[in-house]
């Protein structure tokens, strides 16, 4: 902040800028809510058409996760990983880079975190931080490969990230089944990490059973705020936004677009790496086959739903995990398969991407208003 007092016009400008910001945020949020509502209605109709009782199913889905404290824990633990993965794709998406590489990055992160926290004896606290840093570095490295290929050579980032996913998932599978498998164990998983490296469970703090939810939740929230500040308040964030809005114009304005693209991939990769660290150090305590499941792709949905705004990603991630947790409970209590959640999620993606839809509605409303007159 400068020490010179602001003129009246400057203060006015600033206020106007803030109102616009706030309005944008509100618009993002209400659009997301409308989309969700529409998708839930479609899910309702699908359940009705397949002969199920949608009201009972939704009741179980929407109230179930808050029923017991360990269910809340299950929800928060899932939301932590999912939101981190959503944040990880939101950054390249902001630069208009369609990175589908979160899967390779989360597995690379998990491998790095596990290797450090199993084999490297470290003093407390450091034992938590170093594996996470290693995971972030591994994820960033995985992001750098397609990022550089795209930025310097113009190679299609979708294919590059998909190929990298296929490679890393197979290498991970090999390591968990081979070199990193716990010796003498029949089940396929690695050794447990050292207790010092574990992320503290939230149950220890609150004194109620919260399952495997851990302080990774705090890490996730801090990451979201940091990324929001990065995007909205730093020169790099400005460059990322400009590159995403119009790369030619950005380059014309003196922004080194290739470097910005690389950075967006590296930052996204580091965040996905953290998600891998959370899975290892907070959730499973070791490497398991297929550790991340379909979370990497669902992270994309979360980012889209939030229109790549890091703070909204948190809300979307919490909401989406809530649906996931609720879907499992719904399946236990009613006969409706939890897969309906995936259908609802797909409808959300399709609605979000149909950009002409809101305009179409607006135009229709406008036309009707004209007609009334």
Partner 1 sequence: MSSVLDVVLSSAFLAAVLRIATPYLLAAFGGLVAERAGISNIALDGQMLSAACTGALVAGYSGSVALGAVSGVAMATLLGLLLAALRLELGADAIIAGIGLNLLASGGTAYAVYSLLDDKGGTSGLRSGSLPTVTLPGIENIPVAGDVLSGQNMITWLAFLAAPFVAWLFYRTRFGFHLRAVGEMPDAAESVGIAVRRVQYTGLALSGALAGLAGVFLSMGYVSFFVRDMTAGRGFIALAAVFLGGLRPWGVFLAALGFGAAEALAVQLGTLDVPPQLVSTIPYVMTLVALALYAWRRKRRGGAVPTAASL
Max CA pair span of the chain: 81
With binding defined as CB under 8 A, does residue 361 bind partner 1?
Answer: no
With binding defined as CB under 8 A, does residue 346 bind partner 1?
Answer: yes
With binding defined as CB under 8 A, does residue 42 bind partner 1?
Answer: no
Burial 296-318 (b: 16+ CB within 10 A, else e): bbbbbbbbbbbbbbbbbbbbbbb
- List 29, 62, 144, 158, residue binding partner 1 (CB under 8 A): 158
With binding defined as CB under 8 A, does residue 66 bind partner 1?
Answer: no
With binding defined as CB under 8 A, does residue 97 bind partner 1?
Answer: no
Q: Which is nearer to partner 1, 164 or 215 (CB)?
A: 164
Residue written as tokens 């400057």?
Answer: 10
Q: Which is nearer to partner 1, 133 or 162 (CB)?
A: 162
Binding window for partner 1 (CB under 8 A); candidates: 10-18, 110-118, 126-134, 168-176: 168-176
The two tokens of residue 272 are 């996905």
Least distance from partner 1 to the Cβ atom of residue 179, Å? 10
Nearest one of 171, 156, 154, 128 to 274, comparing CA atoms: 128
Q: Which is nearer to partner 1, 176 or 213 (CB)?
A: 176
Contact mark string toward partner 1, 271..310, x via CB under 8 A: --------------------------x--xx--x------
Question: Phi and psi (nearest 5°) for 67?
Answer: -55, -50
With binding defined as CB under 8 A, does residue 174 bind partner 1?
Answer: yes
Q: Which is nearer to partner 1, 195 or 289 (CB)?
A: 289
- List 31, 171, 226, 257, residue binding partner 1 (CB under 8 A): 171
Binding window for partner 1 (CB under 8 A); candidates: 68-76, 80-88, 227-235, 333-341: 333-341
Contact status, residue 341 vs residue 60, Cβ threshold 8 Å: no
Least distance from partner 1 to the Cβ atom of residue 81, Å? 18
With binding defined as CB under 8 A, does residue 178 bind partner 1?
Answer: yes
CA angle 169, 172, 174 (to 5 degrees): 110
Contact status, residue 261 vs residue 239, Cβ threshold 8 Å: no
- List 15, 170, 362, 367, residue binding partner 1 (CB under 8 A): 170
How far apart, in whole angstroms, are the C-alpha atoms of residue 29 and residue 251?
Answer: 32
Nearest one of 222, 202, 226, 227 to 213, comparing CA atoms: 202
- List 38, 56, 122, 173, residue binding partner 1 (CB under 8 A): 173
Q: Where are the beta strands (DSSP E) in 2-109?
A: none
| DSSP output for 201-241 | BHHHHHSS--TT-BTHHHHHHHHHHHHHHHHHHSHHHHHHH
- List 6, 229, 350, 366, residue binding partner 1 (CB under 8 A): 350
- List 11, 20, 63, 177, residue binding partner 1 (CB under 8 A): 177
With binding defined as CB under 8 A, does residue 156 bind partner 1?
Answer: yes
Rounded to the nearest 10 degrees, the angle between the axes of helix 257-277 and helix 102-119 is: 50
Least distance from partner 1 to the Cβ atom of residue 102, Å? 12
- List 164, 198, 283, 295, residue binding partner 1 (CB under 8 A): 164
How many Cβ atoms from other residues are within 10 Å of residue 69's Cβ?
15
Return the DSSP state at 182.
Answer: P
Rounding to the nearest 10 degrees, give the CA dihedral for residues 235, 236, 241, 243: 110
By three-state DSSP, how is residue 190 classified?
A: strand
Q: Which is nearer to partner 1, 29 or 171 (CB)?
A: 171
Contact set for partner 1, span 109-138 (CB under 8 A): none
Question: Phi and psi (nearest 5°) for 252?
Answer: -60, -35
Residue written as tokens 């890490």?
Answer: 219
Return the DSSP state at 192.
Answer: P
Binding window for partner 1 (CB under 8 A); candidates: 57-65, 160-168, 210-218, 263-271: 160-168
Site residues (CB under 8 A) for partner 1?
Answer: 46, 50-52, 98, 145, 149, 153-156, 158-160, 162-164, 166-167, 170-171, 173-174, 177-178, 297, 300-301, 304, 337, 339-343, 345-347, 349-350, 352-357, 360
């Amino acid at each position: 902040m400068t020490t010179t007092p602001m003129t009246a016009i400057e203060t006015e400008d600033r206020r106007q800028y803030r109102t616009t910001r706030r309005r944008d945020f509100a618009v993002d949020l209400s659009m997301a809510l409308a989309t969700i509502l529409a998708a839930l209605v479609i899910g309702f109709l699908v359940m009705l058409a397949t002969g199920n009782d949608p009201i009972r199913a939704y009741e179980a889905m929407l109230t179930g996760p808050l029923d017991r404290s360990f269910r809340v824990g299950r929800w928060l633990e899932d939301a932590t990983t999912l939101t981190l993965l959503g944040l990880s794709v939101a950054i390249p998406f902001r630069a208009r880079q369609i990175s589908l590489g979160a899967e390779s990055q989360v597995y690379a992160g998990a491998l790095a975190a596990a290797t450090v926290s199993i084999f490297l004896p470290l003093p407390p606290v450091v034992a938590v931080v170093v594996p996470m840093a290693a995971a972030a570095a591994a994820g960033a490295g995985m992001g750098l490969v397609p990022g550089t290929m795209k930025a310097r050579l113009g190679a299609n980032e979708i294919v590059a990230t998909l190929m990298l996913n296929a490679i890393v998932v197979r290498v991970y599978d090999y390591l968990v089944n081979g070199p990193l498998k716990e010796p003498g164990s029949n089940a396929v998983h690695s050794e447990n990490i050292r207790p010092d490296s574990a992320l503290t469970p939230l149950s220890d703090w609150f004194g109620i059973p919260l399952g495997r939810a851990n302080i990774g939740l705090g890490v996730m929230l801090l990451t979201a705020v940091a990324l929001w500040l990065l995007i909205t308040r730093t020169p790099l964030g400005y460059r990322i936004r400009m590159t995403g809005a119009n790369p030619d114009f950005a380059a014309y304005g003196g922004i080194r677009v290739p470097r910005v693209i690389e950075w967006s991939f590296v930052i996204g990769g580091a965040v996905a790496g953290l998600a891998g660290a959370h899975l290892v150090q907070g959730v499973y305590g070791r490497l398991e086959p297929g550790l991340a499941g379909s979370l990497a792709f669902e992270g994309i949905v979360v980012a889209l739903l939030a229109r790549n705004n890091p703070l909204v990603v948190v809300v979307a991630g919490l909401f989406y995990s809530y649906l996931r947790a609720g879907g499992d409970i719904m399946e236990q209590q009613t006969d409706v398969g939890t897969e309906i959640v995936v259908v609802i999620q797909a409808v959300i993606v399709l609605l979000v991407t149909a950009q002409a839809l809101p305009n179409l509605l607006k135009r229709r409303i406008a036309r009707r208003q004209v007609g009334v007159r």
